[in-house]
């Protein structure tokens, strides 16, 4: 029996539109549990937070907590077969993972609801009797090392570690948290320590039911879930551990008033201004950091960012609390600098402190707090339902921090206005308390220190209060002021009655100007809408130059709208203008009340577009850095890029665009935009809390603006101008390969994408492919990642290039070169063939049922539903009943059908098999590159030397897109 429902002072606060039921229980072993009952859910989920993390790593065994997190996935006394937990979850439509933070470790999974009981029992064994075998220990140390290898060239990881490094050595914030081969194998051995023995000791000393918090999300009634949880989790031992506590501050006076110059991996310049502050968790209802972050991070007129942007000094700014614990916290302002801003760093810092000074002089404003509070309250009560797996993670983390009545709310509802408290935190953002981290490649050759774990080069100097005061004085005289009141806060949250209860999107009308697809909300009952409009412009991608100019055009539009539309984003109405293959796309998503106001402003900006030369230069610079930084992408991302470039017709290589960009000026864009907009077609999708007549009226307004009137901006497309997305049709029985050296010569990782092309979108073939991928996914991960330890990134995934279906193995490794990985993939397929043939009828049915459940899973919110339908519209397939149709066929499949499919399309040497291996060589395997290229070709193998010659010589699949003249309903 549980200790009882333990009535708390207040009931758990939940959103008004939340129909789920909640209950807090405490088991006899003192495990605190939150039960969630959701009769409408398709997936059940659980998350366990253990109150121990990397701060508790023993000296000289950095990464032990993270390593333990990895080890618990292997096997347990009750379920001794290695990897059986992961296998069970995957085969029953679920997913699982874990993460280690500074003071907690979180484990989580979801699974089809009808398989929840056994999945939960397997999960509980992590905390009851895991095996942690000696054999698994060595393999998983390699996996942790591979994960660390992946992070070594990531600026995010490097700069976080540098901030930790420049802190008190006696505080755990200083530690290296993830671990690697050095800390988990070499160092312990040198000290005569056995890592597995230390691992078991760490588990015994820290994993205790009284310092764990569990959330269980299920379909059944609370009473039934409670009995299940009591039976399964009461055997977790309670060692009466004290929750680890780390008093004191990570930064002493020695680590404050410092300016750290650091060299990043990527192009670009960044300032991180950081102050140690009182953690907001102690005052979450007053929300001092939320209030200050809202103002310092604001982007409207008069804000710090607006001024820096107007000066041409910054392209991004964020502000708020981070790295928070119960004992310490930081307030961070992160500013992305332009090349010109880099030369004005002192004035940028001066303006930041001047804005902080303005906040002090203006006093803490109740109207701003009330506005923020109202926005937060609306957001909480009309929050979209999210995937259960994500929900349980956030709740189990909240359970550590908040009283039970606020487990759902967390810090999301600031409700107590306390100007004195906000003022106290504001006072902590002082020149005496600051740490400034300044990142730029401009510092190469000018640093004198190197951080141990990531090799980041840096230098450090002390800065004084009077010096920062000088920076404030020398900053330009600009008009910094508080934001205006927010006109986008929705006041009409009423739900509109959908006249028709349509199951799928309907085509309201189709003309030479546009097609309008419409889907009223019949499921979610929220005052929100979702709008997608593709401006299909044939001139957008006729050349690399055109594509670059279209990209700058979309970014400039966002730039011009920013200070106005930022208010909409704060109020929960989001927008985006993005480059797409056939033109550009406008997206709006959020509360419907003021959506049309924002849409019409966007349309006006497009119609009246003119180039501001100063902003053009800034946007061109950011785009140039994005292109230049592609070489610092992970090698597997580079391999995926080459794969797409080989397969997708009419795509331009990034390197061509990078070569063109420096030569393009503002006048080129001025000339180009009228041409871009001269021929257009609007493909529109409007969904949610909007009536049919409103939907048509919104598009009428756009058509009137672009196509009508005495001097129309655009004319309708000619039939020959409609875009067609076409994919290279690989030849049956041929294995193609393309090899390239990694673009970053410092990256040791190599990568392989082994792609198998199967068929053009067709329901019966789709379900065979999906079933193969479902069955093979976990087996591939277990063999190639867990057993063979090829690398941390080891994925088998389905692929869909413009309706052409296939699967791809994605593997990144320092252990083997790409050709060696390719051979291991083929060896796996040989091994898997035997497993497939030996699969029992029950196993086959179980996998089919899991896939059926996954396909019939209900959409959680309007955005999720809309993305599915938009995928059908934008892809040209228009199969809105795809899920139901595929389920019907899936239920007819036999075990032999799956074997036949494998033998025809996937099996090594199958006569119909069409495969493409893209190999990217890291510097550890660079010596293999020329040798592999010069290997004699095997029969039925084709080496691709030049991507574009190859693409031009190949037949193409027919396109689903472009048939606007005869839309099928």
pLDDT of residue 723: 84
286, 422 Cβ separation under 8 angstroms: yes
Based on its alpha-carbon atoms, the radius of gyration of the chain, rounded to whole angstroms, reads 29
Alpha helices in 481-634 (DSSP H): 544-570, 595-607, 613-628
Question: Given the structure tokens 């909300």, which residue do they identify?
Answer: 521
Angle formed by the axes of helices 763-780 and 882-890, nearest 10°: 70
pLDDT of residue 623: 98
457, 447 Cβ separation under 8 angstroms: yes
Measured CA to CA, the distance from residue 113 to residue 295 in angstroms comes to 44
Residue 114 is classified by DSSP as G
Q: CA nearest 366: which of 430, 416, 424?
A: 416
Helix (H, G, I), strand (E, B) or coil at 795: strand
E strand spans, 598-728? 681-688
pLDDT of residue 931: 87
Helix (H, G, I), strand (E, B) or coil at 21: strand
HSE-CB of 15 using CA atoms within 13 angstroms: 18
Quote the Cα angle for 421-422-426, to 5°: 120
State pLDDT tens for residues 652-702: 999 999 999 999 999 999 999 999 999 999 999 999 999 999 999 999 999
528, 591 Cβ separation under 8 angstroms: yes
Backbone angles phi, psi at 413, to 5 degrees: -125, 75
Measured CA to CA, the distance from residue 575 to residue 126 in angstroms comes to 43
State pLDDT tens for residues 126-144: 999 999 999 999 999 999 9
Measured CA to CA, the distance from residue 734 to residue 839 in angstroms comes to 29
The answer for residues whose C-beta is within 8 angstroms of residue 697's C-beta and 6 or more apart is: none
Active site amino acids: 69, 140
CB atoms closer than 10 angstroms to residue 674: 12
Measured CA to CA, the distance from residue 813 to residue 748 in angstroms comes to 8
pLDDT of residue 963: 47
pLDDT of residue 500: 67
Name the helix (H) or strand (E) containing 919: strand 914-921
Bridge partners (DSSP) listed for residue 271: 335, 438
The answer for residues whose C-beta is within 8 angstroms of residue 945's C-beta and 6 or more apart is: none
Measured CA to CA, the distance from residue 225 to residue 852 in angstroms comes to 25
How would DSSP label each residue in 187-242? HHHHTT--HHHHHHHHHHHH--GGGEEEEEEESS-HHHHHHHHHHHHTTS----PP
pLDDT of residue 9: 43
Measured CA to CA, the distance from residue 641 to residue 643 in angstroms comes to 5
- pLDDT less than 50: residues of the chain: 1-9, 963-969
- Residue 123 tokens read as 């999960």
Measured CA to CA, the distance from residue 387 to residue 405 in angstroms comes to 22
289-322 exposure pattern, b = at least 16 Cβ within 10 A, e = fewer? bbbbbbbbbbbbbbbbbbbbbebbbbbebebbbb
Measured CA to CA, the distance from residue 451 to residue 165 in angstroms comes to 7
pLDDT of residue 725: 86
Measured CA to CA, the distance from residue 782 to residue 139 in angstroms comes to 12
Measured CA to CA, the distance from residue 547 to residue 669 in angstroms comes to 11
Sign of CA dihedral 110, 403, 50, 328: positive
Residue 756's alpha-carbon distances to 435, 805, 907, 933, in angstroms, are 51, 9, 10, 21
Residue 73's alpha-carbon distances to 124, 208, 360, in angstroms, are 11, 18, 51
Helix (H, G, I), strand (E, B) or coil at 862: helix
- Residue 943 tokens read as 């080496």
Residue 745 exposed, middle or buried by CB count within 10 Å (0-12, 13-18, 19+) = exposed
């Amino acid at each position: 029996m549980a200790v009882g429902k333990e009535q708390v002072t207040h009931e758990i606060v939940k959103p008004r539109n939340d129909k789920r039921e909640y209950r807090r229980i405490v088991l006899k072993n003192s495990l605190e549990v939150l039960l969630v009952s959701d009769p409408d859910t398709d997936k059940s989920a659980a998350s366990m937070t253990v109150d121990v993390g990397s701060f508790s790593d023993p000296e000289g065994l950095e990464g032990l907590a993270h390593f333990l997190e990895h080890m618990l996935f292997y096997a347990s006394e009750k379920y001794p077969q290695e990897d059986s937990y992961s296998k069970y979850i995957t085969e029953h439509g679920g997913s699982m993972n874990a993460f280690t933070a500074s003071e907690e470790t979180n484990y989580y999974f979801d699974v089809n609801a009808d398989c929840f009981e056994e999945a939960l029992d397997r999960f509980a064994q992590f905390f009851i009797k895991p095996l942690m075998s000696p054999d698994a220990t060595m393999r998983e140390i390699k996996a942790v090392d591979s994960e660390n290898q992946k992070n070594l060239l990531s600026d995010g990881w490097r700069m976080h570690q540098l901030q930790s490094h420049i802190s008190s050595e006696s505080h755990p914030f200083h530690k290296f948290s993830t671990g690697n081969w050095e800390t988990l194998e070499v160092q312990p051995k040198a000290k005569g320590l056995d890592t597995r023995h230390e691992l078991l000791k760490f588990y015994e000393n820290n994993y205790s039911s009284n310092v764990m918090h569990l959330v269980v999300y299920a379909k059944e009634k609370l009473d039934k879930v409670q009995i299940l949880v009591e039976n399964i989790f009461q055997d977790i031992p309670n060692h009466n551990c004290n929750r680890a506590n780390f008093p004191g501050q990570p930064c002493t006076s020695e680590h404050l008033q410092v300016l750290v110059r650091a060299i990043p991996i990527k192009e670009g310049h960044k300032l991180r201004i950081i102050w140690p502050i009182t953690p907001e968790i102690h005052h979450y209802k007053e929300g001092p950091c939320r209030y200050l972050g809202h103002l310092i991070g604001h982007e409207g007129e008069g804000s710090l960012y607006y001024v820096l942007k107007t000066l041409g000094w910054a392209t991004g700014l964020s502000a708020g609390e981070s790295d928070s614990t119960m004992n310490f916290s930081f307030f961070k302002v992160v500013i992305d600098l332009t090349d010109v801003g880099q030369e004005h760093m002192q004035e940028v810092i001066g303006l930041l402190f001047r804005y902080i000074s303005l906040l002090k002089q203006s006093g803490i404003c109740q109207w701003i707090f009330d506005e923020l509070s109202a926005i937060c309250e609306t957001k909480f009560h009309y929050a979209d339902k999210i995937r259960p797996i994500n929900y349980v993670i956030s709740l189990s983390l909240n359970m550590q921090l908040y009283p039970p009545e606020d487990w759902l709310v967390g810090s999301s509802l600031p409700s107590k206005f306390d100007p004195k408290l906000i003022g106290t935190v504001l006072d902590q953002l002082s020149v005496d308390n600051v740490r400034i981290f300044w990142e730029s490649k401009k510092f190469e050759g000018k640093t004198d220190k190197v951080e141990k774990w990531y090799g980041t080069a840096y230098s450090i100097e002390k800065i004084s209060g009077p010096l920062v005061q000088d920076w404030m004085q020398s900053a330009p005289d600009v008009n910094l002021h508080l934001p205006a009141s927010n006109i986008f806060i929705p006041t009409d949250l009423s739900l509109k009655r959908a006249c028709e209860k349509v199951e799928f999107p309907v085509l309201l009308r189709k003309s030479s100007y546009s097609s309008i697809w419409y889907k009223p909300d019949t499921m979610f009952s929220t005052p929100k809408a979702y709008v997608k409009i593709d401006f299909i412009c044939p001139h957008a991608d006729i050349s690399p130059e055109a594509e670059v100019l279209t990209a700058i055009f979309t970014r400039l539009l966002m730039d011009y709208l920013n200070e106005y539309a930022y208010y909409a984003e704060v109020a929960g109405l989001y927008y985006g203008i993005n480059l797409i293959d056939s033109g550009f796309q406008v997206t709006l998503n959020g509360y419907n009340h003021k959506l049309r106001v924002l849409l019409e402003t966007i349309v006006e900006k497009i119609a009246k577009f003119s180039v501001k030369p100063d902003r053009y230069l800034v946007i061109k610079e950011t785009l140039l850095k994005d292109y230049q930084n592609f070489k610092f992408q992970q090698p597997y991302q580079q391999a995926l890029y080459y794969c797409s470039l080989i397969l997708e017709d009419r795509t331009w290589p990034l390197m061509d665009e990078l070569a063109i960009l420096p030569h393009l000026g503002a006048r080129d864009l001025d000339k180009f935009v009228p041409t871009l907009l001269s021929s257009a077609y609007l493909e529109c999708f409007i969904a949610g809390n909007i009536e049919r007549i409103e939907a048509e009226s919104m598009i009428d307004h756009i058509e009137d603006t672009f196509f009508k009137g005495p001097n129309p901006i655009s004319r309708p497309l000619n039939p020959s101008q409609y875009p067609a997305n076409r994919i290279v049709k690989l030849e049956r029985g041929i294995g193609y390969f393309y090899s390239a050296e990694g673009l970053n010569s410092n990256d040791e990782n190599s990568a392989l994408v082994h792609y198998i092309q199967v068929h053009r979108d067709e329901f019966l073939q789709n379900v065979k492919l999906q079933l193969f991928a479902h069955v093979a996914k976990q087996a591939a991960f277990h063999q190639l990642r867990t057993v063979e330890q090829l690398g941390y990134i080891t994925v088998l995934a389905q692929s869909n290039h413009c309706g052409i279906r296939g699967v791809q193995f994605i593997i990144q490794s320092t252990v083997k070169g790409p050709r060696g990985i390719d051979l291991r993939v083929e060896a796996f397929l040989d091994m898997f063939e035997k497993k497939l043939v030996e699969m029992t009828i029950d196993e086959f049915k179980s996998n089919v049922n899991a896939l059926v459940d996954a396909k019939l899973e209900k959409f959680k919110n309007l955005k999720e539903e809309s993305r599915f339908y938009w995928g059908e519209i934008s892809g040209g397939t228009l199969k809105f009943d795809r899920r139901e149709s595929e389920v019907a066929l899936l239920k007819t499949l036999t075990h032999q059908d799956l074997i036949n499919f494998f033998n025809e399309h996937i099996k090594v040497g199958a006569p119909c098999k069409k495969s493409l291996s893209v190999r990217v060589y890291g510097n550890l395997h660079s010596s293999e590159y020329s040798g592999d290229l010069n290997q004699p070709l095997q029969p039925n193998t084709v080496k691709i030397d030049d991507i574009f010659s190859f693409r031009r010589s190949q037949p193409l699949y027919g396109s689903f897109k472009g048939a606007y003249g005869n839309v099928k309903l």
